[in-house]
Amino acid sequence: MTSIMFEFIFKEELLRFTSDKSLGERYWSEISKNYSEKKRHYHNLNHLDNLAGQLLPVKGQIGDWSLIVFAIAYHDIIYNIVKSDNEEQSAAFAGKKLIALNLSEVQKKKCLAQILATKAHQKNEDHDTNLFIDADLSILGAGEKSYDLYTQQIRKEYRLYPDFIYNPGRKKVLLHFLEYQSIFKTDYFREKYEAQAKENLRRELASLD
């Protein structure tokens, strides 16, 4: 599995904060290894590429693109379906890596907060963060075939659990999003994906009955 687009973007942004060109290779090797674990069927390198691809069209709206890139890279670096603190663990992992970069404390805190924001996907006071979490949810508004593939990939990641355990949990997640007046927090993603996302969620919900 490769992620040529995001790998280039990530290494390019790293060079804005360090003169150590080898750091990009070392950091990317670590990222690639984690996101290429066999247990990952959706939360893999393709997911990073998709996030970057979703955000590039609105790059001009983002106040600190570098922080978004780092948040993309590390937001799912720790992923264990039997744990409930993956976002916290991923943020802690990222925090250790950001120490080597010439980032201000404010920037570090903001990047880690963006990673933590993917836990609940609640509307944030920070516009960059809202764009980031909307991009993370953009798969919900994908076309029918892409959405169905996503649900199959998620089910494979949770294959440890039989249907009688998985289905009620999945229903709870779907209903959680459907209860929002708006799933997406920004005008750009709302206009692009909201209607299709609700249609997809309702269709999957019906299939779990």
* Mean pLDDT score, 115-125: 97
Q: For residue 155, what are its two tokens?
A: 């089910």
User: 3-class secondary structure for the chain?
Assistant: CCCHHHHHHHHHHHCCCCCCHHHHHHHHHHHHHHHCCCCCCCCCHHHHHHHHHHHHHHHHHCCCHHHHHHHHHHCCCCCCCCCCCHHHHHHHHHHHHHCCCCCCHHHHHHHHHHHHHCCCCCCCCCHHHHHHHHHHCHHHHCCHHHHHHHHHHHHHHCCCCCHHHHHHHHHHHHHHHHCCCCCCCCHHHHHHHHHHHHHHHHHHHHHCC
185-201 burial code (b ≥16 CB/10 A, e <16): bbebbbebbbeebbebb
Last residue of one domain, picked from the residues 90, 112, 136: 136
- pTM for the whole thing? 0.96
Same domain, 42 and 94: yes
Same domain, 179 and 192: yes
As a whole number of angstroms, the distance between CA 9 and CA 25 comes to: 13
Last residue of one domain, picked from the residues 90, 119, 136: 136
Q: Does residue 2 have a pLDDT over 70?
A: no
pLDDT band per the 50, 70, 90 thresholds, residue 205:
very high
Is residue 13 within 8 Å of residue 65, measured between CB atoms?
Answer: yes
Distances in Å between the Cα of 78 and the Cα atoms of 14, 34, 172 are: 21, 7, 23
Same domain, 202 and 127: no
* Mean pLDDT score, 105-123: 97
* Mean pLDDT score, 112-119: 98
Nearest in space to 98 (alpha carbons), one of 123, 119, 115: 115
Same domain, 149 and 123: no
* Number of domains forming the structure of the chain: 2
CATH of the domain at 122: 1.10.3210
User: Residues 7-18: pLDDT tens digits?
Assistant: 999 999 999 999
% of the chain surpassing 90 pLDDT: 97
Same domain, 95 and 185: no
Structural domain including 63 reads 4-136
User: Residues 134-175: pLDDT tens digits?
Assistant: 999 999 999 999 999 999 999 999 999 999 999 999 999 999
Same domain, 24 and 127: yes
Same domain, 75 and 165: no
Last residue of one domain, picked from the residues 94, 121, 136: 136
Q: Does residue 105 have a pLDDT over 90?
A: yes
Q: Does residue 106 have a pLDDT over 60?
A: yes
